Structure 1
Amino acid sequence: MDCMKGFHQNGVKPNSMKLLRIIFHMGTYEYTRMPFDIKDAPAHFQRRMVTIFQEEILECRMIVYIDDIIIYSETLEDHVQYIDRVLTKSTPRNLKISLKKCNFGQQKLLAIGHKVSGLRLEIDQNTVAAVLKNPVPRNIKGMKHFLGFASYYRNHIKTFAHITSSLYKLCSKDVVFKLPRKGGMHMKGSNMNSQIYLTLNYLSSYI
């Protein structure tokens, strides 16, 4: 489930509107809803979502990532029940859900850069491919951006710490930025899909 227009669903307190003032040739304007380009906007929206759905999250039936809601359940009946709970809590709080971005009763889905099912967790290769099309980082800012992306998938990358050690050193102070001839950057290849996580059926017996 996806919240419609994301951050715009958060109001701005009157005493904070002056901090979001913008000037056009036709006059001065102030945001009354949270704009998308505010640094703390994701944190504010995440806190609101966690506050609203705290009960469902603690029951381990829901994951909330900013404006994305993932409901997971063992039976269709439970699934419908938790969808109803989400909608019931959303209505009085004026939290709007985008129907066209919702998928119900799915056994597999793409979520936050991963392919998720009841049995396995994989990297979404379309997300990886989009990053691999970018040129090799040529400065510290670009390297930090790449390492931030790669670190998100560190559990899927074998010997991640070893592979990236030389790249992290390039981001240190008083270090001349010069890419290694080999080593770290080969992570921009097939290594990005080296591990797939499987889930256990705890009702079965294991040795």
Structure 2
Amino acid sequence: MSPSMTAEDDIATTAYVSTVTEDSIAEFGSSIPTPSLSHDETLRVNINPCLDSAKVQQIQELLTEFQDILTSLPGLTTTIHHVISENIPLPEDLFMQMSKSEIFSTCDLAKAYWQIPLEENRKKFTVFQTPLGLMQWTRMPFGLVTAPATFCRLMRLVIGDRQNFLSYFDDTMAHTRSWSGHLTALRTLFSLLRQHGLHANPVKLSIGFSKTEFLGHMISHGTLAPVQDKVSKLINLTVPTTKKQVRSFMRMFNYYRAFIPDFASIAAPLTNLLRKGSPEKVSWNQSCQQSFDTIKDLLSSDPILIIPDINEQFVVRSDASDTGLGAVLLQERNQHLMPCRYASRRLSPREYNYSVIERECLAIIFAVRQFSKFLAFRTFVLQTDHKPLSFLKAGAPKNSRLMRWALSLQEYSFHIVPISANKNVQVDALSRLC
């Protein structure tokens, strides 16, 4: 079906695609190339090699019981009506649910979108041309505008509001604090897949690990770290020569910016290259190279953040310098305050004219807004090395700008705790590097 395919690939792909397509007599169709597909359905499950033989035996018995959902293309038993949009969960919201989990298992659904049958009156809109004539999809193909929302709706119906389960498109995870609870969770997950006629890909099934990769992060014992394989690929990127390449570079590194305390300041020479009116071919100088190398070095230094626990109190530290703002969200772990998120930015030209107290108050506003989703509807501690800011809770300032900021903070419940500058050195460094 494609010139790049071997005869064997062509036959295998045609046979496999025929399970999710059918002949069509529609009056129109698209020219859509059919990709070469992998047909390895061998039951090769990734089981944690560190588990003792008794636990491995328990897993093998469980897999044998549910072997029917680990092979072949299934027929969905749940009806999914026409979906236009669906709320897609944010990765950080999913991470928060795993703050106390110790054991993880992950699975991908086999040919995920193809597990959803199309309604009869929708098939005609998916017609495509092949050397064998017109064909139309009988199951949901990749590329439909509403396909992601439809699949998220399906997984929301399957998983529901059950604890110990997460789903992000076709990535599904079971996470628990104990081994006995984990076996129960796996049995529940496999039962739900069987009940709804869904099948998992055995090759991508990982069971019983204390550390797992999920959504580009390595999760272990309540901590987050970048996945080293992905970091290695980013580190090996060559120097960009055009604005498009710089924009692509920044997009990739922005995903891990929460791990880099002074990302905004370090990346400033690169973001300056993207200013409106700047030439398409970038002028790469020493400061750009230093910024490029520093970001790579920081990501390769194994940065770690703790996963926020919404049941524990948050501590926010903020600071301002002559050039920028810095903030960090912390929580206590093992009697030590540990970072959950970093944030920083440079001052705008207008903000350079602010007084010291205005810049310090602006740093608080910046910090609270950055971490608002963690701080809303709960009491937190606000630590600052600028004592005059106690007016934010004690009374009304005469300065109209400070008054507006003080009013904007009234929706939050917090205690201001002054700290010495030497204890706030981490955030102070962030602001001064901007």
Q: Which TM-score band (shorter chain)?
A: 0.7 to 0.9
Q: 1:52 aligns with which of 147, 154, 158?
A: 158
Instruction: Give how far 1:147 is off.
Output: 2.4
Which amino acid letter does the alignment assign opposite residue 306 of structure 2?
L
Q: Indicate the residue corresponding to 1:9 in structure 2.
A: 115
The aligned amino acid for 1:29 is: M
Percent of pairs with identical residues: 23
C-alpha distance in structure 1 between counterparts of 2:135 and 2:274, whole Å: 40
Tell me which residue corresponds to 1:198. Answer: 306
Write the distance in 2 (CA, Å) between the matches of 1:18 and 1:185. 50
Matched, 1:96 2:189: no
| TM-score between both structures, scaled by the size of structure 1 | 0.81
Tell me which protein shows more strand as a share of its residues. Answer: 2
Query: Does the 8 Å contact 2:241/2:284 carry over to 1?
Result: no
What's the offset of the Cα at 1:75?
Answer: 0.9
Deviation track 1:153-202 (CA, whole Å, cap 9, x = no partner) reads: 11112212223344445445544232542244235521214521135897
Match of 1:121 in 2: 224
1:68-94 CA-to-partner distances (Å, cap 9, x unmatched) read 112111111211121122112111211
Closer/same/farther in 2, CA of residues 138 and 16 from structure 1, 3 Å limit: farther
Match of 2:253 in 1: 150
Instruction: Work out whether residues 231 and 300 of structure 2, in 8 Å CA contact, stay in contact via their aligned partners in 1.
Output: no
- Bigger shift: residues 135-144 or 78-87: 135-144
1:41 to 147, 169, 189: 147
Contact persistence 1:158–1:191 (CA under 8 A): no
Q: 1:146 to 1:48 in 2, by over 3 A?
A: farther
Q: Does 1:70 align with 2:170?
A: no
Equivalent residue for 2:124?
A: 18
Aligned mates of 2:166, 2:279 — CA distance in 1: 42
Give the TM-score of the pair, scaled to structure 2. Answer: 0.42
Alpha-carbon distance in 1 for matches of 2:137, 2:120: 10
Q: Is the radius of gyration larger for structure 1 or structure 2? A: 2
Note the C-alpha offset of 1:48.
1.9
- Shifted more, 101-110 versus 125-134: the winner is 125-134
Does the 8 Å CA contact 1:118/1:199 hold for their aligned counterparts? no
2: CA distance, partners of 1:17 / 1:138: 45
From the superposition, tell whether residues 49 and 168 of structure 1 become closer, same or farther in structure 2 (CA, over 3 Å): farther
Deviation of 1:150 after TM superposition, in Å, equals: 1.3
Are 1:107 and 2:210 an aligned pair?
yes
Residue 22 of structure 1 deviates from its aligned partner by 1.3
Work out the number of aligned pairs and report it.
204
Please list every run of 5 or more consecutive structure 1 residues that lacks an aligned counterpart in the other structure. none
